[in-house]
Structure 1
């Protein structure tokens, strides 16, 4: 069973960063200096666990009237298990609790079907971020 928690301790933050590093830097070859950015401290970080093992991560930033969903990732062996959906639902629930009207994100084009199943719609042409094709997407909360 997947459990998603808000990262409140150093251990949880380290686990979130370790999952992100494994997925984005090691697997997708994003430069490490681009993966950790200036928004880490202002973001709310989430970690997904299965049997107390960190398997996924994501973060949320607050905008004006919307939340920005970022750095959603799941370790390769745990993909297609629902972990990504659980992370997204936890982020969206916090956004709703805080009375935000919309969730926005930049999706890797290969992940568009995942986000569309969650109710997101594409709002941009394809653009490149960290060498990977992306599109902007939005959902009403």
Structure 2
């Protein structure tokens, strides 16, 4: 199903959740070779943009659940919103002056077409897939989506990544092109909605 363009949310990726994912029975501590993460066991307070701040977690926070449920379930009508990939992902939340999240994303080390790496979050991994980018309705039209994307890219670079890919709804292709993404895969339908794989190299993204 395609989200109405007026909704302003970013591409859901239900096809990723439908693919078989083999989660390690015991992930243990996160190990990231060459990472500049200050403490790999704690939430990372990343970049700030104006009144916005961004925090990255190694687990699925309750606030991420709430943002995604409001955007993808309540507004767009998706039902299988949470999947095994959530357990293999980092989760970024955006805040603006309060402790209530206004936007979210997730990202995970992957192959060139979005398949999670079998070793989960052990690394390094050069390519990361970004997904589940969602902005609360009241904050749309304020460039929050672009800021979330930049913060997510910065987090990927801190983990040693150098390329980001995403499965974009075709109606959002123009937005992602403005953020430096280019078509890198075939176009196709995802739950009846036209999607396209897009990618971006990240060597210039500041890690500091």
Structure 1 residue 49 and structure 2 residue 95: aligned? yes
**Alpha carbons of structure 1 residues 9 and 126: separation in structure 2 relative to 1, 3 Å:** closer
TM-score, length of structure 1 as denominator length? 0.87
The aligned length equals 137
Larger-Rg structure: 2
Structure 1 residue 60 and structure 2 residue 113: aligned? no
Q: Secondary structure at the match of 1:49?
A: strand
- Which residue is 1:102 aligned to? 163
Over the aligned positions, Cα root-mean-square deviation in angstroms equals 1.8
More strand by share: 1
Map 1:112-131 → 2, pairs under 5 A: 112-131=173-192
- Which residue is 1:7 aligned to? 57
Shift of 1:119: 0.2
TM-score, length of structure 2 as denominator length? 0.61
Higher relative contact order by CA 8 Å / sep ≥ 6: 1 or 2? 2
Structure 1 residue 23 and structure 2 residue 71: aligned? yes
Q: Secondary structure at the match of 1:56?
A: strand
Gaps of 5+ in 2: 1-50, 111-124, 203-208
Give the Cα–Cα distance (whole angstroms) in 2 for the partners of residues 95 and 8 of structure 1.
13
Shift of 1:125: 3.8
List structure 1 runs of 4+ shifted beyond 6 angstroms: none
- Which residue is 1:38 aligned to? 84
Q: Secondary structure at the match of 1:99?
A: coil
Quick check: 1:30–1:130 contact (8 Å CA) kept in 2? no
Q: Secondary structure at the match of 2:88?
A: coil
Please say which of residues 37-46 and 48-57 is displaced more in the overlay.
48-57
More helix by share: 1
Q: Secondary structure at the match of 1:36?
A: coil
